[in-house]
Structure 1
Amino acid sequence: MPATRKPTRAKAPEKCDTCKGTGEVSKTVRVGRRQRTVGQQTGLCLTCLGSGEAN
């Protein structure tokens, strides 16, 4: 008689270290010759490509 297998739980995917699982990162925007800081802009995390999961 074959042994029965217990169902296993799927592990939750690990969060990306760069964006902390949000999928977005902030970058400081600088303008002018003296590189004056004017604000921040959010963009897609290039480490996880916006999924928020570590690969």
Structure 2
Amino acid sequence: MVTRRSPARKPVAKRCPDCKGVGEITETVRVGPARKRRDTGDQQTALCLTCFGSGLAPTD
């Protein structure tokens, strides 16, 4: 009698810690000249630079 094994599972990729798996982060909009910048109450979305928008944690 031949016993069969189930195929090995692929490791589950971890979510990016900075964007929490979404691939985007929110940034505060800043206005004014370089020396006198101030934050506004507005937010904009930006691409997560840790995972480059994939949502997966970078590997070492």
RMSD: 1.8
Task: Flag as ranges the 4+ runs of structure 1 deviating above 6 A.
Answer: none
**Under a length normalisation based on structure 1, what TM-score does the superposition of the two structures give?**
0.78
Distance in 2 between residues matched to 1:17 and 1:36, nearest whole Å: 25
TM-score (normalizing by structure 2): 0.72
Identity %: 54
9 and 27 in structure 1: CA distance in 2 versus 1, 3 angstrom threshold: same
| Deviation at residue 31 of structure 1 after TM alignment | 1.7
The number of residue pairs the alignment matches comes to: 52
Greater helix percent: which structure? 2
Structure 2 gaps of 5+ residues are none
Alignment partners' CA distance in 1, 2:55 and 2:45: 14
Aligned with 1:42 (options 40, 45, 57) = 45
- For structure 1, list consecutive stretches of 5 or more residues without a partner in the other structure: none
Report matched runs for 1:15-30 at 5 Å: 15-30=15-30
